[in-house]
Amino acid sequence: MGVRNASLIAPTVVLLSITIESRYLLFIMCLPEPSFEQRVWLVINAIPRGNVASYGDVAHLAGHPRAARQVGRILKHLPNHSQLPWHRVISQQGKISLSGTRGAVQSDALRQEGIEVSEAGRIDMKRYRWRP
């Protein structure tokens, strides 16, 4: 048995061809449409190290361009142990919108990736914005 080909032919459809005992079988699998929250996670996970995106950028790439605040709410409810690079998401103006300890954690994480963060929590969007 061997998988000959597996390809994504649409965001929710996978075409899979398998050979079993010299017989060629073709499967089409329909996957459930990911929720907006799941698409937000996928977009944020795709932001490369050393780049940032705004809440609006993430919302747009996740399919809802006017849902920047919803992106913020999704990130607010991430578990503390999450591996998602949430720190790469900042305001449209290039500013860290978190205050206190969480803002300091975000600034430190961005600096560790080589991103320059001013004392006021500003990032140069022209230089560091992710453009997929």
Instruction: Determine the pLDDT at residue 34.
Output: 83
Domain ranges for the chain, please list them: 1-33, 36-128
Residues of the chain with pLDDT under 70: 1-29, 31
- Provide the pairing of β-strand 53-54 with 23-30: unpaired
Whether the Cβ atoms of residue 71 and residue 40 lie closer than 8 Å to each other: yes
Helix (H) or strand (E) holding 57: helix 55-61
| Residue 15 CA: distances (Å) to CA of 11, 19, 52, 99 | 11, 14, 34, 47
- CATH architecture group of domain 36-128: Orthogonal Bundle (1.10)
